[in-house]
Structures are given as C-alpha cells and as structure tokens.
Structure 1
C-alpha cells in the first residue's frame, strides 16, 4: 500500500512540473556556428542562467551547431523544475547587466578589445602574424563568413591585405584592394611624347655633281636646287632588362598558388596580343601581374610566350576600354615581360586560367 501511495505521489509531482513547464513562454532558436549562450542571452534580453535552467543544462553541457535551444521570453525568470515567474521591470535590477556589457573607457586593454569586436567595422587590414581565426574572433564573426565575404578558398593571408569583416564591407574592401594594387603596380599609359623630327640634307649623287654645268640642263639644275631635305623619325630600340628567372616559372612568387584553384574547376586558354605596363614590382620578388578581361581579378594565371618561357601572374583587374588598349587582349608588368624574354613592343601570349 505504501509503494502504491509513493508511486501516485511521484506521478502527481511529475505532472505538476510538466504543467508548469508548458506555461513557459519561449522562442526556439537553432544554434549557429560561433554562437554562445552569452550571445543568445544578450540577443533575446534574458540571462544565461534562465536559458540553462529552461533547457536542463549544467556547467559541463556542450553546445552543438544546429542544436535547438529554448529561449525564455524577456522578463521571465526560470526557476528549477522549468517553471517561470513574471518579473516586473525594476530599474535597479536592469542596470547591472548594462554596466557589465558596456565597460568604461578606463578598463583594461582586454576589455577594450572585446568592445571593438562588437563594433560595426566594415574592413580590416591584415597585420603581421594575424590569422583568419584571430580576425574572426576579433570582430565576432566566423571563419566561414570571412572566407565567403572575401571570396577565399583557403585561410592564406598576406600582410597589408584588406578584408571585409561584414557583408556591408565587401564593396569597400574591393575598392581599397584596387587602390592598394594601383600603388604597387601602375598601369602605364603609352608615352604620348611627339616623335623627334630631325632634318638632314639629302646626299646628292656625286656623279651628278661632278658633271660639268654644260652637261646638266637648266631643268635638272632647278630640280636639284629646289629639292628640300627629307624628314624622318628617329626610332631607338631599347633592350628590355633581363631577369634571372626559371624558364618554366617554377621560381615565380605566384607559381605555388596556381594549382590551388583547380578543385572542381576546368581550365581555359586565351591567346592574343599583349603590351607591358610600368611597375616597380617583380624585379626582385618575382611577383608578376597581368590585366585581362577573361579571368577574374585576384586569380592566378599561367602565361606562355612563343619562345617557350613561362611565368605565373596575378590578375589585377580588367583591361580598360581605352584608345591605348585598342587591339590588345592583355597587358603584363614590365618585369613579367623581362622574365619571358620578349623584346617587342607588342607580342603574342597564351594565357591559361581556371574558370
């Protein structure tokens, strides 16, 4: 009889707790990558303790991406057993969380860094030794978001690189990257200086001058006297500097990145006429650049010359539709042309790239 009574009491207690739990007002939230209970508590205007009690969590509970979490409504305090009670808004109780989440300016540098990570920054310039992970933590985002917003297939970074750290920062980051690339490699407009015109006397046939005046008709004399010096353009063929680079391009700076783009993509080839543009880059670091319209900006392409030489170059941006580029398909940096050992002003090239 005592066992039956104890069983009935336990069932009644469980039913009572269940009925209380059903009265809890909550929002069902699906946990995303990088989210924490603190972030959810701040987002839904509740506390970490109330979330944990409503979901039966404890200190050792581990969260998983995609997990469904019950978030109590703002203003409800969850007590043990899953029940809630309405808590009227009291100014003195609402104040402490605001002070805790908004540290004064005189706090430690660590607190200042945390505050900055929640700011609405649009772009970030990569500092030495920074990684995708450290930057994502600094701005409260995920590595996957950082890769997506900056069109990256891996986690490789370069010091000074401009990254978008929010969706709104993508156009700003692209514009800043283009400005920085222009400072490194300036597309040269062909020299518009008028050609030097030099007038020199015409060399008259000596046999004609040695003839006696009697043998030359008056008409011939007049023609010789009135003949004006011919003008011609002085053209000077300058030898392009050479670079001690491997003929197959294996020692180029961007050679190692060409294969990184191969996953799930096919190669395409484009042949056409090219000229150079002036740049200070490439002569010592072997960083070569190209302007073209077929391959996307920032991608690495393989450039082949008719003499069999090869270089690997990075696409800066598209070839502008301007008079100086008429009839051209590419412009490559002067250092790239030197590495290919091409000497003509205009020369044919074949470009291989991934699409």
Structure 2
C-alpha cells in the first residue's frame, strides 16, 4: 500500500516539475515578451546573442539605457519578435513558450491573441478536444535561443517506470546518499583556506567621482579609424586577467585616432588599478590601451561615459593620470589604440 502511495506521489511531483519549466509569455502595450534573470558575467550583448535579438531592441523595451550596466539577479523583458519567435507549425525550432489559460478563455480567443490557428495550438499541445482548463499552460510558439535556457524536455516514460519500480527503502537510501554528496561538511583545513582567501581578497579603493576628477585634462586631436585587434593579455595592470576572461566571452571591438584626456586619480599608482571614462562602452568592461609603435600597454576598467562639459568637448575617452604615467605619456600628441570585448 505504501508503495502505491509513493508511486502516485512521484508521478504527481514529476508532472508538476515538467509543467513548471515552461517559459511563460507575457504582454504589454509594446508587445509580447518573456522574462530573463541576469546571471554573473552577462551583459546586454551576451543576452542579446542568447535570444538572437539585438540589445538595441531589448534596452528600450525595458525603458533602460545600454550605458547603464545590468545587475546580477535583475529581471529584464526579452521581446518576442520575428527574429527570435518561431510559430511555424511544422518547424518547432526553439524552446516552447506557453500561455497560462485565464478565466473565460477558449482556444479561439488564445489563438487570435497570438496570431495562430486553433489547429496549431491543438497540435503543439497534443489536444484531441477543444476543452481547456484555467491554469493550463498552452504552447503558443517557440523562442530561438543560442544557449539552452531551461530543461523543457518531457519526462520519458521509461525513466518514470524505473523510479516507480524502486522500493521505498531504496528510494530513501538514494535521496540520503545524494544529500550527503551535495552538502559536504567542511574540514578544518578547508575552513582555514576559506579564511585565508577572504583575507587575501583585495578591496578596490573608492575612486573619485567624475565631476571631481576631471580636472586639468589634456586633449589630443586625431581622426577616428579602426585598427587590427591585438587581443593578447600582455601589458600592465590589475585588470589583465579580467580582460583575458572577457576576450573569451565577447566580440572584439577596436578604436584608434580619437580625442582623449587625463583625469587625476589616487588609484593605480601602487596597485595597478587603472580606470577610464569611455563613451558607448558598458561600465565594467576592461579595455587594453596601447601606445602606437611601442610595446607599452595597460588594462583599465570603464567607469562610465565621458560627462559633458567644455573641458570634455569632443572627447571619446578620459583615463586616470596613473594609467597615462604607466604608458609613459608625456607629449600630448601620443597616439593610442584601444581594444575591448562585448
């Protein structure tokens, strides 16, 4: 009798899990969308590539600016448009997107809402009749994703049968074994290492706000043009390893021949933490600054855009005076090249 109850509980739990992994479509006055929660190392560009949509479409849809970076855990709306939303009856390419049935909603109403036919909805959801219930999740299309977003495969019958055939005692033993493996008890040695790592963690010094540090800027006039990308991590600075990591995750961007200036900063002189203000680049991006015709280069973190003002007129970038010193910049006509990834 206990085995029968266990079998029933497992089937209900598995069915609920399979149903909850659907991507749910929502809508606003701007159109249909799904939600995405930002995870570490994600930015506007990587999320755009994941859902096969330009970040220039995502940002305004959310009422945000790409000049402002994204926060871990932040929820943003991914628009469903022709480039990433597939509703082809025969070609079910992508991850299923579902509509949750509300009160007084029938198949005809839902079909017209998503510009598909009742036959399409019935085929995608394997419905033999027009009867649907409040709370049902009905597939209304498929979102194209470059990287899998979730596990949306239906649970195979063979796997369910295998679980059902197991006795209650063996199932409990397996769960206990999993819990022991998943939650190891830290040894004193590992605890000591953890403390050491926390002590070794370097806290970045507070950088002065742009309004205060953009004084006595030197200006170099030049004509913008593109250059060949040197993506090597050879150079000076605390952020060289971060640059190497970002080079594996984004597409190379390059710039040469631009107007730039220098601002005063107390950071970088001893710790190699160089900072820049750079237009049209996401804050947090690491850039490689090189002196043309030499092997001198440094790595710097972008704090934000160059603020407007007479002293910044026409400038694309401002770097800390510690970065300028590390590059050996004395003459104001020194030509630079920039490389970064997004």
TM-score range (shorter-chain normalised) is: 0.3 to 0.5
Which structure would you say has the larger RCO, counting Cα contacts within 8 Å and 6 or more residues apart? 2
The normalised TM-score by structure 2 is: 0.38
The normalised TM-score by structure 1 is: 0.37
